[in-house]
């Protein structure tokens, strides 16, 4: 798997136009949802006169096989061949699912990602993890395959609801916590409204690319990117099937990072003041998630299905210090339960 070619631009139309001129595709399709069709497609529409627009309903609940079938069917009806291009214009759901559909259509056609959310720009569009949810589990079916190109333009963030911006911020925080202690104060000393997004995008892409390049298929080092995600994914999956408590990915991961900081203290001895710093800052930005005692066992059961577990042991990626993560730390059900309870008790 080659490393992602990622460009950050202030002129997406120019960059995409150049790319399409340099390549000769037999057909072009653009995958959008109702939001990116309205707010993002107009930025590039004039380059795509003959393109097939495939619109799917937005949201993680639609990141499933039924939506893939729709995408594959429309590519088929458009007589797409292996020299076709799929442009994924949207957030993580569009990028992950569109990439999976492209990587499996006729055993693989070209695709590029134009991430339109902060979350997708700083995380989902980098690293070649593609997939869909299945049977209640996140990204349960998928492949590793990198887009031919990733083109990020901060202009797309202007139309983003604040909630979405906050969701992406969780991954920015994570990247500093797992591998850049020096970058952390610049985040933690500012309120949410005073964050420097262009700088954060640049920084997150750099960190994530470095980590992925050393371990593209997650045999080892790459697992540190899962900090906050073992419990975070479980929380996200759990509330996905409990309507009325809809959570964004980053909101769940933010809670997961607090809980996994507690585990980091138990298992790796991260200093207590650093745990407090993490807890206080995250709670100042993200609403606390209403988890109650009855949710604990189902949440732990969901964690066991997580892809990074091996042989029934629940392995976590945890922090030794702010800026230093390590992986494959086995944690018992009881310890997980305690971390969840400690989160529940935050005032």
What is the contact surface with a second copy in residues (CB under 8 A)?
Answer: 26, 65, 69, 72-73, 76, 79, 81-83, 103-108, 129-131, 134-135, 137, 139-144, 217, 304-305, 307-312
User: How far, in Å, are 13, 184, 205, 215, 344 from residue 113 at the CA level?
Assistant: 14, 28, 14, 21, 38
Is 307 labeled as catalytic in the residue annotation?
Answer: no
User: Smallest gap, in angstroms, from Cβ of residue 258 to a second copy?
Assistant: 26
Separation between Cα atoms, residue 102 and residue 161, nearest integer Å: 28
Which is nearer to a second copy, 142 or 256 (by Cβ)? Answer: 142
CA–CA dist 329, 317 (Å, integer): 6
The secondary structure of 263-304 as a DSSP string is HHHHHH---HHHHHHHHHHHHHHSPPP---GGGHHHHHHHHH
If the CB atoms of residues 53 and 304 are measured against a second copy, the closer one turns out to be: 304
Q: Is-catalytic flag, 273?
A: no
User: What is the nearest approach in angstroms of a second copy to the Cβ of residue 31?
Assistant: 16
* Beta carbon nearer to a second copy, 211 or 291: 211
User: In angstroms, what is the minimal distance from the CB of 83 to a second copy?
Assistant: 5
User: Catalytic residue at 166?
Assistant: no
Among 166, 175, 208, 267, the active-site one is: 208
State the catalytic residue, choosing from 226, 274, 279, 315: 226
Q: Measured between alpha carbons, how far is residue 247 from residues 14, 140, 195, 293 in Å?
A: 35, 19, 22, 19
Helix or strand (DSSP H, E) at 59 = none
Annotated catalytic residue within 37, 249, 267, 308: 249
Residue 190: active-site member: no
End-to-end CA distance of the chain: 46
Residue among 77 and 191 whose Cβ is closer to a second copy: 77
Is 200 a catalytic site residue? no
- Can 82 be counted among the known catalytic residues? no
Q: Is 218 a catalytic residue?
A: yes
CB of 81 to a second copy, least distance (A): 5
Question: Rounded to an integer, what distance in angstroms lies between the CA atom of residue 313 and that of residue 335?
Answer: 13
User: Among residues 35 and 88, whose Cβ is nearest to a second copy?
Assistant: 88
* CB closer to a second copy, 88 vs 264: 88
Q: Is 222 considered catalytic here?
A: yes
Question: From the candidates 233, 251, 267, 315, which is the catalytic residue?
Answer: 233
Q: Report in angstroms how near the CB of residue 332 gets to a second copy at its nearest.
A: 17
Q: At what angle do helices 333-344 and 296-304 cross, to 10 degrees?
A: 130
249 is catalytic: yes
Distance CA 10, CA 4 (A): 19
Sign of the CA dihedral 336, 231, 340, 60? negative
Q: Let me know if 37 is a catalytic residue.
A: no
Which residues make Cβ contacts (< 8 Å) with residue 186, sequence separation at least 6? 196
Whether 268 and 320 have beta carbons less than 8 Å apart is answered as yes
Residue with tokens 């202690």: 181
CB of 44 to a second copy, least distance (A): 23
Catalytic residue among 166, 203, 222, 308: 222
Q: Which of 23, 39, 218, 321 is catalytic?
A: 218
- Just list the catalytic residues: 107, 129, 171, 208, 218, 222, 226, 229, 233, 249
């Amino acid at each position: 798997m080659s490393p992602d070619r990622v460009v950050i631009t202030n002129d997406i139309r120019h960059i995409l136009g150049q790319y399409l001129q340099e390549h000769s595709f037999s057909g072009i399709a653009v995958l959008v949802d109702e939001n990116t069709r309205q707010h993002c497609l107009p930025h590039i529409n004039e380059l795509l006169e003959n393109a097939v627009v495939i619109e799917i309903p937005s949201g993680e609940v639609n990141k499933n096989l039924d939506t893939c079938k729709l995408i594959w069917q429309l590519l088929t009806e458009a007589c797409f061949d292996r020299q076709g291009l799929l442009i994924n214009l949207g957030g993580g759901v569009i990028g992950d699912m569109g990439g999976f559909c492209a990587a499996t259509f006729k055993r693989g056609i070209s695709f590029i990602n134009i991430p339109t959310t902060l979350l997708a720009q700083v995380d989902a569009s980098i690293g070649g993890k593609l997939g869909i949810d299945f049977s209640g589990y996140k990204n349960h079916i998928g492949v590793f395959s990198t887009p031919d190109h990733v083109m990020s333009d901060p202009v797309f963030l202007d139309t983003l609801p604040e909630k979405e911006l906050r969701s992406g911020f969780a991954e920015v925080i994570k990247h500093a916590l797992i591998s850049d202690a020096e970058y952390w104060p610049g985040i933690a000393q500012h309120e949410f409204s005073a964050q420097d997004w262009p700088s954060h995008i640049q920084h997150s892409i750099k960190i994530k690319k470095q980590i992925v390049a050393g371990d593209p298929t997650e045999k080892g080092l790459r697992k540190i990117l899962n900090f906050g995600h073992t419990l975070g994914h479980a929380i996200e999956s759990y509330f996905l099937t409990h309507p009325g408590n809809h959570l964004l990915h980053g909101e769940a991961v933010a809670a997961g990072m607090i809980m996994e900081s507690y585990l980091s203290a138990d298992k790796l001895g991260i200093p207590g003041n650093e745990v407090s710093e993490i807890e206080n800052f995250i709670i100042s930005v993200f609403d606390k998630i209403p988890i109650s005692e009855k949710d604990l066992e189902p949440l732990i059961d969901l964690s066991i299905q997580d892809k990074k577990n091996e042989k029934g042991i629940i392995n976590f990626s945890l922090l030794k210090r702010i800026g230093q993560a390590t992986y494959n730390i086995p944690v018992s059900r009881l310890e997980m339960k305690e971390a969840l309870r400690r989160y529940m008790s935050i005032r």
